[in-house]
Amino acid sequence: MRSAFTDTSGIFTRSYSTQVCKELSGLRNARDLRFNNTFITGRRIVLAKNDWKGKLSNPTKDPSACQLQMTSHSTTRYKVAVLGCTGSVGQRFIQLLENHPWFEVVAVGASSRSAGQKYSQACRWKQSTPLPNYVKDMEIRECKASEFPEVDIVFSGLSNQVAGDIEEEFAASGKAVFSNAKNHRMDPDVPILIPAVNASHIGLIEYQRRKRGWDKGFIVTNANCSTTALCLGLKPILDRFGIEAMIVTTMQAISGAGYPGLPSMDIIDNVVPFIGGEEPKMESESLKIFGHLDTEKIVPASIKVSAMCNRVHVLDGHTECVSLKLKTRATCEQVIQAIEQFPPFTRSLQLPSSPERDVVYTDWIDRPQPRLDRHTGNGFTVTLGRVRECSVMDIKLVLFGHNTVVGAAGGSIINAELSVAKGFIAQKGKQSVYAAVSRH
């Protein structure tokens, strides 16, 4: 028996031939090994890098079950590009990816209006932290896959008007594409991924590749920003009590409309009770996200959802008032307990961008609020509050999520981290970093 190892940047596991396994099985005491030119019963473990640590796992009586697991603390980072780099979401990518331990931004792309210019010339930087040095002089490229040969991963903050075809072209050319646009979200073979909610949906990538004939590339999408906050916030309640129906009314920030967004004359001193396409998106995407993976498709959850979406005079962060009909009756205290006991999923996977908690509960009577809660977990955490009884449904509450962090760029980054951790992304120039067992 000999099966291929999977390189997941941080970890790979390799199964050896029966003969080698027999020999490795003899090393029951060698549970923690540091390899570089290490000898194992006459075989040499050859490494291209020095910083791999090996662990002999599950040595059983069945020699073919023996595995050697290698962990890398390699500093070789995946080369990534940000498309739509000048926009609201694109700028957030540029900000969040500065000094990222796994990803290095080596290229940026935008429209032909910006292409050819330095990032600092073309972009009107609107983030509250300084424009990172690493990107200032980077030349913006046209969004064609042939312009990005060196890149493994593409983060897309492209406008819906162009994202569909461009993202497909990049995926077809072998890139792992993490999209924020609506274009591919409802494709049956594309997951809308929120790791703390539906990590198993990542399995759809295998089918997507087979179906589209892509060997390395794939597309994973984020939900629409208000849907991400809704699904992440309600996940603890869904898991514990089940949800039959929900009514959600949103108060969504201006940055959700991109830059420059709404004219100031339309939004100052105002609430606009219409966001084009938002209500149907919340109603359909949430069911796909809460659905279950059935090999070649996601079977949507059967929950009745009604959404009402409003644009309000807030810069960043969407607030949502939600009423829920539960499958199993619960008191407010039990609902709060479910939220507080929700396991820190992304932290448990040790993903670099994971917040301490994916979801938190605040017991301040007048929270969550955008100005006070948008930085919780660096914008990666959804905050819930005001759980109380509902006389029409069962329970009502308020939840809040940062639209360009957890709801967009940050969500994509966590999705890419999960994809790396699960071994879905190949890395150029890193193929040589593996342990080879050879006769010495």
Ligand X SMILES: NC(=O)c1ccc[n+]([C@@H]2O[C@H](COP(=O)([O-])OP(=O)(O)OC[C@H]3O[C@@H](n4cnc5c(N)ncnc54)[C@H](OP(=O)(O)O)[C@@H]3O)[C@@H](O)[C@H]2O)c1
Active site residues: 225, 318
Intra-chain end-to-end CA distance of the chain, in Å: 22
x/- site string to ligand X, residues 391 to 430, per CB under 6 A? Answer: ------------xx--xx----------------------
Nearer to ligand X, 183 or 419 (CB): 183
| Nearest residue (beta carbon) to ligand X | 87
Question: Is 108 exposed, middle or buried (CB count within 10 Å of its CB: 0-12, 13-18, 19+)?
Answer: buried
Q: Which of residues 168-227 bind ligand X (CB under 6 A)?
A: 180-182, 224-225
| Closer residue to ligand X, CB minimum distance, 125 or 259 | 259
Closer residue to ligand X in complex, CB, 70/82:
82
| CA dist., res. 420 & res. 408, Å (int) | 19
Smaller CB separation from ligand X, 56 or 154: 154
Select from 87, 195, 377, 379 the one that contacts ligand X (CB under 6 A): 87
CB of 263 to ligand X, least distance (A): 14
- What the block records as the tokens of 33 is 């090994």
Q: Which x/- pattern over 7-46 shows residues binding ligand X (rule: CB under 6 A)? A: ----------------------------------------
Mask of contacts with ligand X, 255-284, x by CB under 6 A?
A: xx-xx-------------------------
Angstrom distance (rounded) from CA 415 to CA 199: 9
Q: Which of 33, 162, 262, 293 binds ligand X (CB under 6 A)?
A: 162
Helices and strands of the chain, counted as H and E runs: 14, 23
Q: Tell me how far apart the alpha carbons of residues 167 and 179 are, in angstroms, rounded to a whole number.
A: 8
Determine which helix (DSSP H) or strand (DSSP E) holds 68, and give its type and residue range.
strand 67-72
Considering the complex, what minimum distance in angstroms separates the CB of residue 407 from ligand X?
5
For ligand X, give the closer residue by CB, 47 or 309.
Answer: 309
> Interaction with ligand X in 238-257: which residues (CB under 6 A)?
255-256
Residue 45's beta-bridge partner residues?
Answer: 38, 437
Q: Strand 52-57 vs strand 32-34: parallel, antiparallel, or unpaired? A: antiparallel
What is d(CA 283, CA 75) in angstroms, rounded to the nearest whole number?
A: 42
CB of 126 to ligand X, least distance (A): 9
β-strand pairing of 52-57 with 43-46: unpaired
Pair 196, 380: CB distance under 8 Å: no
- Using the rule CB under 6 A, which residue among 47, 66, 105, 110 binds ligand X? 110
Asked if 202 and 217 count as a contact pair (C-beta separation under 8 A), the reply is: no
Q: Does 89 bind ligand X (CB under 6 A)?
A: yes
Residue from 114, 208, 362, 419 binding ligand X (CB under 6 A): 114
Strand partners, 99: none
Region of 86-94, 144-152, 369-377, 393-401 interacting with ligand X (CB under 6 A): 86-94
317 touches ligand X by CB under 6 A: no
Residue 24 beta carbon to ligand X: minimum distance, rounded to whole angstroms: 48
CB pairs under 8 A, 24+ apart, for 436-439?
Answer: 436/45, 436/46, 437/16, 437/20, 437/40, 437/43, 437/44, 437/45, 438/43, 438/44, 438/46, 439/42, 439/43
Residue 287 interacting with ligand X (CB under 6 A): no
User: Whole-number minimum distance, CB 401 to ligand X, in Å?
Assistant: 10
Burial code (b: 16+ CB inside 10 Å, e: under 16) for 329-368 equals: ebeeebbbebbeebebbbeebebebbbebbbbbbeeeebb
Chain residues binding ligand X by CB under 6 A are 84-90, 110-111, 113-114, 143, 157-160, 162-163, 180-182, 224-225, 255-256, 258-259, 403-404, 407-408
